[in-house]
Amino acid sequence: MDCKEQEIKEGIKLHIIKTDKFKTNLMAVFLTTKLTRENVTKNALISMLLRRGSKNMKTQEEISKNMEEMYGAIFDCGLDKTGDNQVLKFYVESINDNYLPEHKENILEESARNLLEIVFNPYIENEGFKEEYVEQEKQNVKHRIEGKIDNKARYANERCVEEMFKDEPFGLYKFGYIEDLKELDGKELYKYYKELINTCKIDIFISGDLKEDDENLIINDENIKKLKERKPEYEKPKLPEENKEKEENIITESMEVTQGKLVLGLDVNIKNDEQKYIVLLYNSILGGSANSKLFQNVREKAHLAYVASSSYLRYKNVIFINSGIEISNYEKALKLIREQIEEMKEGKFSEQDIEDSKKGIVSAIKTIYDEQDTAIMYYFGQELSGSNVSVEDYIKKMENIKKEEILDIAKNVKINTIYFLKD
């Protein structure tokens, strides 16, 4: 399964993934723009507003009815922070004609038309978004921002990110800030929307059991034809600056929790993009699987936690360690976690550990094509970082990594922030 790319206009790309593995066709539009303090809240609000209505489907109810009529096509949107970019994501997933109880020819066509219209032809009154919608969606954004405390583990992680990237775009909260909401109105937001649509990077994905000319559903769409070419403004992933000697930032905060949430943010110093594959492997050995040092030592041997894991954020080249512990065990758990990071530096992991981790990663890579959205995100990741690595090459790179290379990474890992949420 390959991804065929086609530049519709400069800055606007169509990605076509032909596959007959699924019962559904999935279409996605991603708008990528720089993450900035100035625009972060506006982008969040725009992504919510576009769901409210388009020129020909003036209300949410109409959009929903249209989707339901198409055997429950699902329209969904999301907002991502991808490195130093904010990505507004819009999806329509509809059932492929082959699996409908009665034959209906036009579901894919209708899905494409609807999706493109929602994103590129919003409902406008008096040169602006409808004020009533704006007011309601402001409340919605406010609710999302305030809602970040509801999942305590995620909140702790979010706080660690904020602290670690205090003066950088990545430290911004993806739904923005309540204080920004007040001044925004329908006219100003529409002005901003036009600017966004004219300057952002646009990627359109279409995945499914497609016919020869199905890409024309996108290319010949009226809303796409109207778009201008652009030199899109977005950030490619950068390599980290040389780690300066800085002290660990230790933060403890209180909230109503029964379990303490401990999060560590680690910097990883690498010299080139190729090393990212090695960091992925390093992370797997440290805390990426049930065989990892964190899971084995913090959970299985010391019984301090149910969750003890780490994850690698490729775009920012940082690792986060997460665990939920008895509040009184903070010192004990932290010491044990530090020991695991130290042991990695000392090379206390076996060839077997490396082999096992490689198998886990390779297996995960092989499943990319078996999940429609995962495949789209894989190609989008490549698109953003300007790389072009096939799954086969990816696997080869992984398999060729040597212990010395992992050790080299381990030595360049440093704790940046320790965040603890307690009662």
| C-alpha closest to that of 326 among 234, 227, 260, 238 | 260
Residue at token pair 């290379």? 405
Q: Which is nearer to other proteins, 85 or 283 (CB)?
A: 283
Using the rule CB under 8 A, is 291 a contact of other proteins?
yes
Using the rule CB under 8 A, is 258 a contact of other proteins?
yes
Q: Out of 178, 219, 250, 364, point to the residue binding other proteins (CB under 8 A).
A: 364
Structure tokens at 164: 């670690």
Using the rule CB under 8 A, is 236 a contact of other proteins?
no
Q: Report in angstroms the alpha-carbon separations of 204 from 14, 161, 198, 224.
A: 5, 30, 15, 10
Q: Which is nearer to other proteins, 23 or 228 (CB)?
A: 23
Of 39-47, 175-183, 238-246, 354-362, the segment contacting other proteins by CB under 8 A is 354-362
Q: Out of 231, 246, 303, 335, point to the residue binding other proteins (CB under 8 A).
A: 303
Contacting other proteins within 40-69 (CB under 8 A): 59-61, 64-65, 67-69
Using the rule CB under 8 A, is 359 a contact of other proteins?
yes
Contacting other proteins within 374-413 (CB under 8 A): none
Q: Which is nearer to other proteins, 249 or 291 (CB)?
A: 291
What whole-number distance in Å separates Cα of residue 69 and Cα of residue 67?
5
Using the rule CB under 8 A, is 143 a contact of other proteins?
yes
Using the rule CB under 8 A, is 289 a contact of other proteins?
yes
Using the rule CB under 8 A, is 2 a contact of other proteins?
no
**Least distance (Å) between residue 238 CB and other proteins:** 32
Binding mask 103-142 for other proteins (x = CB under 8 A): -----------------------------x---x--xx--
Q: Out of 5, 195, 326, 393, point to the residue binding other proteins (CB under 8 A).
A: 326
Of 113-121, 184-192, 245-253, 363-371, the segment contacting other proteins by CB under 8 A is 363-371
31 neighbors 200 (Cβ within 8 angstroms): yes
The alpha carbon dihedral of 406, 410, 412, 415 has a sign of: positive
Using the rule CB under 8 A, is 218 a contact of other proteins?
no
Using the rule CB under 8 A, is 367 a contact of other proteins?
yes
Using the rule CB under 8 A, is 252 a contact of other proteins?
no
Using the rule CB under 8 A, is 178 a contact of other proteins?
no
Using the rule CB under 8 A, is 350 a contact of other proteins?
no
**Least distance (Å) between residue 27 CB and other proteins:** 14
70 neighbors 111 (Cβ within 8 angstroms): yes
Q: Which is nearer to other proteins, 65 or 194 (CB)?
A: 65
Q: Out of 2, 6, 36, 99, point to the residue binding other proteins (CB under 8 A).
A: 99
The alpha carbon dihedral of 50, 54, 55, 58 has a sign of: negative
The alpha carbon dihedral of 48, 49, 50, 56 has a sign of: positive
Using the rule CB under 8 A, is 147 a contact of other proteins?
yes
Using the rule CB under 8 A, is 154 a contact of other proteins?
no
